[in-house]
């Protein structure tokens, strides 16, 4: 039996059903969601991901502790957030620039982002004028 979940069909707006589920990591689910309306029958691949812990388990699974691709992506989001807020400013000071540079290097050295991405972020930083 498929389960109805809180995803709505983008075509007809009715609740979709999970018809298939894969779990490649403890934090990550890949779902196939299908519309059951006989005049529609759209289906999609969807992902369901736990992105960061709010409260740690009293009995943590070690596999979850080590396999944290989700938290790495969280760091990159953080960098993106800092960078885009600086981009809205006409000029930034040396301190702000050094901070973001350090952030980019840290993400690169921890293999959270690859060289191409690091370079893209550095280029964006270069575009912002210093005071
Ligand atoms: Zn539909």
8 CA distance to ligand 1 middle (Å): 8
Q: Higher confidence at residue 71 or residue 35? A: 35
Q: Higher confidence at residue 10 or residue 22? A: 10
Q: Rounded to an integer, what distance in angstroms lies between the CA atom of residue 52 and that of residue 49?
A: 9
Rounded to 5°, angle at Cα 68 from 107 and 46: 105
11 CA distance to ligand 1 middle (Å): 5
The reported pLDDT for the residue numbered 37 is 95
Share of the chain above pLDDT 70, in %: 90
Strand bridging mode 28-35 / 129-130? unpaired
43 CA distance to ligand 1 middle (Å): 8
The reported pLDDT for the residue numbered 59 is 84
Residue pair 91/131 in contact (Cβ under 8 Å)? The answer is yes
Per residue in 42-95, pLDDT (tens digit) is 999 988 887 777 777 888 776 665 545 556 677 888 888 889 989 988 888 888
The residue among 108, 58, 102, 103 whose CA lies nearest residue 81 is 103
Going across the sheet that includes 15-25, the strands are 3-8, 15-25, 28-35, 43-49
Residues 6+ apart with CB under 8 A from 84: none
The average confidence (pLDDT) of the chain is: 84
The reported pLDDT for the residue numbered 25 is 73
14 CA distance to ligand 1 middle (Å): 6
């Amino acid at each position: 039996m498929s389960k109805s979940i809180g995803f709505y069909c983008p075509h007809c707006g009715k609740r979709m059903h999970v018809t298939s589920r894969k779990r490649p990591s403890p934090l990550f689910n890949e779902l196939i969601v299908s519309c059951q309306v006989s005049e529609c029958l759209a289906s999609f691949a969807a992902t369901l991901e736990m992105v960061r812990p709010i409260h740690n388990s009293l009995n943590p699974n070690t596999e979850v502790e080590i396999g944290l691709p989700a938290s790495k992506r969280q760091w990159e989001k953080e960098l993106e957030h800092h960078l885009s807020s600086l981009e809205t400013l006409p000029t930034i000071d040396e301190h702000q620039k050094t901070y973001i540079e350090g952030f980019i290097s840290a993400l690169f050295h921890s293999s959270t982002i690859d060289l191409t991405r690091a370079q893209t972020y550095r280029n964006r930083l270069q575009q912002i004028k210093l005071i």
